[in-house]
Amino acid sequence: MTTSALWQLDAVCFARAQVDVVVALFACAAFGVSQLFALVVVAAVTVVHAGRLPISAAVGLGLVTWAYFTGFVVNRYGRLTFEEPDLVRLALLLGCAAAAHWRQ
């Protein structure tokens, strides 16, 4: 079975990656896992998808993943903060996304 050329477009892959990150966050919330475990899960989802994206989209995915995690897991109602732990998570997710891209 062949994959449609539409599904291979960078923008579509980026959008699918964001959907998977949101689904992973919902699953973590439904199962009531710790913040650390949820961070590992979304980092893994980011790594899986970032390997298939160009570097700009991979880094963008890391940034969006951080925003979702900080805004909805660490804080409430999408509020982003830039305290030291938030910046550490940002560096971790950006580093994971960039490393996954360069690994491919």
Domains of the chain, by residue range, sit at: 7-103
With contact defined as beta carbons under 8 Å apart, do 38 and 26 qualify? no
Residues 6+ apart with CB under 8 A from 37: 28
With contact defined as beta carbons under 8 Å apart, do 48 and 1 qualify? no
Q: Mean pLDDT, 10 residues at a time, over the chain (104 residues)?
A: 68 94 96 96 96 92 96 93 96 95 75
What's the confidence (pLDDT) of residue 2?
58
Q: Rounded distance, CA 88 to CA 85, Å?
A: 5
Q: What is the pTM (predicted TM-score) of this model?
A: 0.89
Surface-to-core class of residue 7, CB atoms within 10 Å of its CB (0-12 exposed, 13-18 middle, 19+ buried): exposed
What's the confidence (pLDDT) of residue 3?
62
